[in-house]
Structure 1
């Protein structure tokens, strides 16, 4: 089922026809009362029925709104342009909003690619582009969008790890939210094409480890941060010690053999890397 244009005429033209038929009905009744001729009564009844039929054909379309028309179970067409129209009488009309809609999914508990339980939620921005499909191809297109959005989110979340700790993966849920959002948008568009819905954007709005492993994962992240910080400190200490020894050697301040050089390197490394302040020991020489 796809959209097709519904027959329609300007509503004000139809209003003139409605007034004309109403006037003929009134004249027929008046003439029947005056002349007692059943011909005028029949004319008045026919004009009255036609007046009611014309009245049932009036419809108003609001901006960013579509109406789908059926007649005795048969699909006739769609009117999407705002305005006042006269169309086929006795039709059943279903209104579909063409406005952009935001849908915030519930927090879902799923397993990522590595099997870790996580909590994830997304915001989906969509609108209807084919109102006929939205009405006839699914029972309730909004409920269909909600269900398929959660299904697609579960599918995408299981395709990637929460975090790329060991750089084993190209994309992770936490570090590549834009890429994951693009994949989610493509996946949802395939699922919702049937309902005549266009996905404008889909993005992750909540991402966290589940409560049962959140503490352990926090400790892992803290340990990783501590290791990274210690590495920076050690690298800086090595550079400083090397610079100090090279400067002492170049300026000839002191002549160090390998044993004293090793001892000096050890002392400088301990002094620089140690988290607590070091207590200096002053060598005053030998006292007799």
Structure 2
């Protein structure tokens, strides 16, 4: 596999200066022979003009001689090359590519919508020009393929796979690193430098989004209830301990059970409790 070959190119200003000097010398030497002077000057002018190449910053020119690759000029400026060279311009600027939202299945088979943003630029003009048919279309297709592979390698979240160490919705840095490495491997043959790759959009597909939202809400409620119960048990335990230590009241096991039940109802209930005033004795 060939790679890029950088050729310096002759200084265009120097070639123009030499042409002017030669033209002046010929004009003096063949001053009285216009039938020779004019054709020679026209030929020299055409050779000089057709060989000039202007390269703007962050651009390159790929040079071909009758189908053979001769090199690339990546330095900006005015240059002179063989007039028979064919020049193909390629931009070396960094460019953004945002993929469309595609529907794929995650590791557990759940349909999700995902899109990515890719920042890239050409680093090897030979590979970009001749190793792939159309490097911009190649980038689009390979990025979509990398996204599909990435989505199938990780679950969307921890709800269905609690043992998963990396998920698409939580471990963004790890997922983006895996995505970038996958795209880098695919773009190597096209001479593309991947500057950054990251997920731009991630969500469940519409047909399961509502069900997944209800599941997440239920999980959040269960987790909140678990925390409330833990706190209530601690508070009840603390209350019984203080009553016992300060000997405020002696409670048998039955009254302790009733007190624990009442306190748990008060602390764990999702509605405001209505106080009941006992006007009799402890036993009534």
Q: TM-score range by the shorter chain?
A: over 0.9
- In the other structure, the counterpart of 2:110 is 116
| Residue correspondence of structure 1 range 159-238 to structure 2 within 5 A | 159-165=153-159, 166-238=161-233
How far did residue 8 of structure 1 move?
Answer: 1.6
- Whether 2:239 is the aligned partner of 1:244: answer yes
Aligned to 2:151: 157
Greater mean deviation of Cα atoms: 204-213 or 61-70: 61-70
The alignment's TM-score, normalised by the length of structure 1, stands at 0.92
Instruction: Compute the TM-score of the two structures, normalised by the length of structure 2.
Output: 0.93
RMSD: 1.8
Structure 1: which 4+ aligned runs deviate by more than 2 Å? 17-33, 43-48
Residues 216, 172 of structure 1: alpha-carbon distance in 2 compared, 3 angstrom cutoff: same
**What is the SS of the residue equivalent to 1:162?**
coil
Offset at residue 7 of structure 1 (A): 5.0
Q: What's the offset of the Cα at 1:282?
A: 1.8
Question: Match of 2:259?
Answer: 264
1-structure distance, mates of 2:69, 2:16: 25
Please, which runs of 5 or more residues in structure 1 have no aligned partner?
Answer: 34-39
Contact 1:129 1:197 in 2 (8 A): yes
2:107 corresponds to 1:106: no
Q: Equivalent of 1:93, from 62, 87, 90? A: 87
Cα pair 1:109 1:119 within 8 Å, conserved: yes
Measure the CA separation in 1 of the matches of 2:143 and 2:70: 31
Aligned to 1:68: 62
Q: Distance in 2 between matches of 1:228 and 1:168?
A: 18
